[in-house]
Chains A and B, each alone.
Chain A
Amino acid sequence: MNISQFTTEASKYAVHVDDLFYLLSIVSGIIVLLVSGAIVVFFALYYRGSPTPRGLLPERKSREIEIGWTVATLFSFLFIFWWAASVELLQDSPPKDALEIHVVAKQWMWRFQHPSGAREIDELHVPAFTDIRLAMTSQDVIHDLYLPALRLKQDILPDRYTYEWFNADKTGVFHFTCAEFCGTDHSVMAGTMYIVTPQEYARWTAAQPEADDLAHQGAALFHSLGCSGCHTPGSTVHAPDLHGVYGRVVHLAGGQTRTADEAYLRDCILVPDSTRVEGYPPIMPNFTGSVQEGQIVALIAYIKSLTTGQDRETPTASPKSSPQSSGG
């Protein structure tokens, strides 16, 4: 293993972070020099018994000095804050059409699911020069996906989604690892990230063992779990039609509004009572325990596909795609 697997600045954002780091290092260096310099000089001048004259410092002067360095410190700190905040805002919200990779963390391994359906364990292939968004959840305790070369880190919580996004501009082999203490084998919950050119990524995807893409898997589940019984336009049961729901703002029975993102759709499957849409009866069953994390990912991918262009008809049961267990 090579240190460049950690230190390479693999994205523009990483360069900005490093610049901020260098700025702060210089500021800190100056302050350390000033303080230690002053101490050395004072020691030399005013060591006990040395014949330097020691007068009274006028009250007014000492107050002016005091106010002076308070204000100077305040403004330099505000300047650093402004710089830091503007770098943070670069990472504000991921572009809409980012390539979305699902991450499931568990003690002590990583599982990645690509939109194509390809799956990897403890290895991650991503294309460079592409916006990539990682939608992450945990099956047990809190983990944290740390991507050193991208200067990114994000905790991964159970029963909830958190996100990390980046646009890498260097190809290569990099290290990733878990940064939130998660038990016995925390220190070996690590893996390798391959940032490759988009062409290579396409070749890699094509070379993966035959598997349906996520949305297809989700469509099969949608049918086999019985979702389609209610959530189809022609159904006699009064349940929301899911076409076009992704990304829309929904009004809930409790009076709140939520955006129908991954987290919301996930809640709808697992805690339907608290996410019921206004105007619909509380008949949605609770799927906690009867669907696995990987299946939820597939279902959400399918529901998203109903909105994002690649609209497909409500699936007919295809004999080939039985719901796949999410392994592990």
Chain B
Amino acid sequence: MSDTAGALQHPWPNLRLQREGVGLGMWLFLASEVLFFGALFVGFAVYRSFNEDAFRIAGAHTEIVYGSINTALLLTSSLTMTVALRAATTNMRDLTLVCLAVTAALGVAFLICKGLEYREDLKEHLFPGPHFPLSPPATQMFWGFYWIMTAIHAVHLTGGIAVVTVVFVLFKRRIIPVQGSTMEGVAIYWHFVDSVWLVLYPLIYLAGRS
């Protein structure tokens, strides 16, 4: 229990309030993120409603195998993250560390998979520009959004992996105790990045194949 005192930070009066505060802060940040992605999704929806055929044609050229593998990877990582959080709140330090490591590894696997997918896409010249292989022109719009949406998601995931790694090291070296408020915030963020992917997956890979 000696860890508890170290977990409490200025200016919080007690640990319960601090946890709630960190949770609240994280949820507010996610609200902000929802609006960030929301702007993108609104744009996508507007253009899709203007160019339904083009979006269907363009969507059929996405790499569904990579997309599906990535979905599985991320969902599994959310599972291990949940276990890590549970373990941390009940002060099971070793299990927390293992689960965090697995979570970060799954995240890295996702990025590698994404990189391979990008290579395939570029091989087919599916980057908007003068030599774009598909027609009509609005298919470029779909692919423009594809690159932006997946890239922004990948940046968020990279940030998530970085944070998980840092937290892992801090826990491992006992610089901060596992049962503090940190784990809560990390877990909420990770699940959010995961759930953004769950919106992207059908938009990008499934809608063009319906």
Contacts and interface: CB of A to CB of B under 8 A. Distances in A.
Interface of A: 253-254, 271, 273-274, 286, 288
A273 B51 CA distance: 9
Contacts of A273: 53-54, 135-136, 138
A271 B54 CA distance: 11
Interface residues of B, number: 9
B25 to A, nearest CB: 36
SS of B interface (majority): loop
A286 B136 contact: yes
Contacts of A271: 136-138
B52 interface: yes
B51 to A, nearest CB: 6
A274 B135 CA distance: 11
B50 interface: yes
A271 B135 CA distance: 11
Contacts, number: 21
Nearest 10 A-B pairs (CB), nearest first? A273-B136, A254-B52, A274-B51, A254-B53, A273-B53, A271-B136, A274-B136, A274-B138, A271-B137, A274-B53
21 contacts: A253-B53, A254-B52, A254-B53, A271-B136, A271-B137, A271-B138, A273-B53, A273-B54, A273-B135, A273-B136, A273-B138, A274-B50, A274-B51, A274-B53, A274-B54, A274-B136, A274-B138, A286-B135, A286-B136, A286-B137, A288-B137
Nearest to B53: A254
A286 to B, nearest CB: 7
Interface string B35-69: 00000000000000011111000000000000000
Interface of B: 50-54, 135-138
B171 to A, nearest CB: 54
Nearest to A288: B137
A276 to B, nearest CB: 9
A254 B50 CA distance: 10
Nearest to B135: A273
Contacts of A286: 135-137
A286 B54 CA distance: 14
Contacts of A254: 52-53
Contacts of A274: 50-51, 53-54, 136, 138
Nearest to B52: A254
Given A253-B53, A273-B53, A273-B136, 18 more contacts: A254-B52, A254-B53, A271-B136, A271-B137, A271-B138, A273-B54, A273-B135, A273-B138, A274-B50, A274-B51, A274-B53, A274-B54, A274-B136, A274-B138, A286-B135, A286-B136, A286-B137, A288-B137
Contacts of B138: 271, 273-274
Contacts of B135: 273, 286
Contacts of B51: 274
Contacts of A253: 53
A315 B53 CA distance: 35
Most buried by B among A253, A271, A273, A288: A273
A254 B53 CA distance: 7
Contacts of B54: 273-274
Nearest to A272: B136
A274 B138 CA distance: 9
Nearest to A276: B53
Nearest to B49: A256
A72 B200 CA distance: 49
Most buried by B among A254, A274, A288: A274
B49 to A, nearest CB: 9
A32 B201 CA distance: 57
